[in-house]
Amino acid sequence: MGSLPDLPLLTAIVLTVVLTILLIKKNLNRNGPLPPGPSGLPFLGNALDMSGPYPWLKYTEWSKQYGDVVHIKAVGQSIIILSSPKALGDLLEQRGAIYSDRPRLIMGGELAGYVDSVPLCPYGSRLREYRKLMSEVLTPRKVQDFFALEEEKTREFLGCLLRSPDQFLNHIRRNIAAIVFKITHGYDLQDGSDPLMELAERGDHDFSEAASAGAFLVDSFPALLYLPRWLGFSWMKKAKIFRKNMEELRDAPWEVVKEQVKKGTAAPSFAANLIEKNSNPTKDQEDIYKWVSTGFYAGGADTARSFFLCMSLYPDIQRKAQEEVLRVVGTNRLPTFSDRPLLPYVDALINEVYRMNPVGPTALPHRSTKDDHYNGYFIPAGSIVIPNSWAVLHDPDVYPSPFEFLPERYFDKEAKAKGLNLDPRKFAFGYGRRVCPGQHLADNSFFIAVAMILSVFNISRVDEKAPKPDFSRSEGYISSTIW
């Protein structure tokens, strides 16, 4: 009997929910139809379709059925999936003012603590400050200042490959870390295992897991945030570990450089320059400096891993690239950045690696901040917008024979005149005002590594009888962060 007085309250809640849904539907009808898309389950919508290991394959399947702009819902949240160069350009580039925000990520943003990181920072003054500071060293012209460093570290990388080729993945990661930490903090990696590199690796892994769509139930059901911590759900424990690693990666290198600047022993670096220019920052300014200094380390190892994989699978293409390097460079020296204009086939090979096995099959999601209309369809404010890069990079109407590794495609002038075989870097480094600010540094580092490797090594499969990988999957949502 004690529950009867609650019946009117329960009835009121149910009526409120029903009326709210009806009002939303009425308002949507007034604004025009939503983009087409698959129907979902009651309440859950299409949430279960998004929770699998390869959601971009499902998105691509939908795009073939419904078009390049698809609307779905997940637990009441409107989601727009863009799967063509035109739709991506029209909305994320041309209308960047309203499509550059990030959605709320409970796990990756609030619990793990990455909400103020460069990739996840909401669109606004803080993000503009990040990009302004990073542009001081990361423009196409400014990154040329790092050519000598990248060449030096890549030569060291070749020595490591020669001594222990079976450890090539670790050598790749170490090479990237050596370049980035020297630029950001003036830090030289220790021989053997390095604590800062290990910390960065943990942070990169944590971020990739925490920001993955559908990986944690709390992102779909934010009410779980208010459950008591003593319940000990696995996501609660992970969030605690993620935040601890994040705080250490953000703060520890910065404090070391700050102390070095104070003593006059700091090596030239991005962080040291920030400290020297503003020796007495506010708490908020220093927080911005810490985050922006940490924001340079965003993977790259997975792109290099894709290169090794592709070369082992396509030895004839590897041989063509090696012959070009030999013609241009000879045998008495290693390639340098000055050789790049003379190595068009190597550049085309690099583009095909970006296209064939993209590190970010879907870039980090955007969020619309205003109601909008596109091609006769209504896109509500607050919609999550997912750029399906994988669909574009494997669309036969954009890249003929998309599952064939063909560097030659980029030399086809007739196809280019028809708008085919676009530069895949346009889709590999994010979109619009959220494009990766470090794209030029990353591309340069990848080029010099590829050119030097091709000049001195042959890459082959250990077991020729082993099954070939399935390029239709492109393992990992953001194996390394793509903004």
Separation between Cα atoms, residue 339 and residue 336, nearest integer Å? 6
- Token pair, residue 335, equals 């390639």
Separation between Cα atoms, residue 453 and residue 160, nearest integer Å? 12
Phi, psi of 101 (to 5 degrees): -80, 170
SS3 content of the chain, % helix, strand, coil (to 5): 60, 5, 35
Separation between Cα atoms, residue 300 and residue 150, nearest integer Å? 14
Environment class of 417 (CB within 10 Å of its CB; exposed 0-12, middle 13-18, buried 19+): exposed
Separation between Cα atoms, residue 426 and residue 407, nearest integer Å? 16
From the list 173, 160, 177, the residue with the least C-alpha distance to 302 is: 173
Q: Residues comprising the binding site for heme?
A: 436
Residues forming a β-bridge with 180:
none
Do 415 and 421 touch, CB atoms closer than 8 A?
yes
**Domain extents for the chain?**
23-456
Do 451 and 155 touch, CB atoms closer than 8 A?
no
Q: Residues comprising the binding site?
A: 436
| Residue for token pair 């990030």 | 102
- pLDDT means per 10 residues, the chain with 483 residues, are 49 59 60 93 86 87 97 93 98 97 92 93 96 95 97 97 93 93 95 89 87 76 82 85 94 96 96 94 96 81 89 96 98 98 98 93 94 97 96 97 97 94 96 94 96 96 74 50 37
pLDDT at 8: 55
- Token pair, residue 414, equals 């007739």
Longest CA pairwise span in the chain (Å): 92
Do 337 and 480 touch, CB atoms closer than 8 A?
no
Other beta carbons within 10 Å of 191: 6
What DSSP state is assigned to residue 431? Answer: -
Other beta carbons within 10 Å of 387: 30
The answer, as to whether pTM is greater than 0.85, is yes
Other beta carbons within 10 Å of 464: 7
- Which residues contact residue 169 at a Cβ distance below 8 angstroms, ignoring those fewer than 6 apart? 301, 305
Can you state the angle between helices 439-456 and 168-185, rounded to 10 degrees? 140
Separation between Cα atoms, residue 68 and residue 51, nearest integer Å? 21
Do 210 and 108 touch, CB atoms closer than 8 A?
yes
Class of domain 23-456: mainly alpha
